Structure 1
């Protein structure tokens, strides 16, 4: 269960990390960059939560309608895996290049 919730906690920590400099800076361009990093993380949390809730819905419906409903998890579980992969492998590289290219203090 911790493996499923850890990306959400990481994204929340990223939002908090970007929120401090966002409030402190006066430059409009830097505020926009911090806001875009925060929005990326918030969008991740939203989409990830939808996938998790959708998977739980399939599991609950399997008890009501039968186990053939669990075949729906063949779609949502790989998508959750892709989201975790994006969060752990792709996002750190993206953030590093983004911060380096725009002179942000993170």
Structure 2
């Protein structure tokens, strides 16, 4: 799973200009990665970046390395949990409101 500092760095990317207003939060990001893991086709970090930020094309500078690392770490942890017969769980929201987190997921 991701550390709190990884989540903070990820959210800094998600909420950055110019896509920050249309981007998913961490729970939405978690949902996209989860869909990639359990779906019929694995999504690339670039595809997940476009979905998570709402942009049509990846910036010229490419997908930020921390974003790519977070995708890989989270996808790997989810795949491992499924391989071990465990259910995937929604991360615990800081505000204690699981319904808001579930809606964003």
Q: Same fold (TM over 0.5)?
A: no
Of Structure 1 and Structure 2, the greater helix share is in 1
TM-score band, normalised by shorter chain: 0.3 to 0.5
Structure with larger RCO (C-alpha < 8 A, sep 6+): 2
| TM-score, scaled relative to structure 1 | 0.34
* TM-score (structure 2 length as normaliser): 0.35
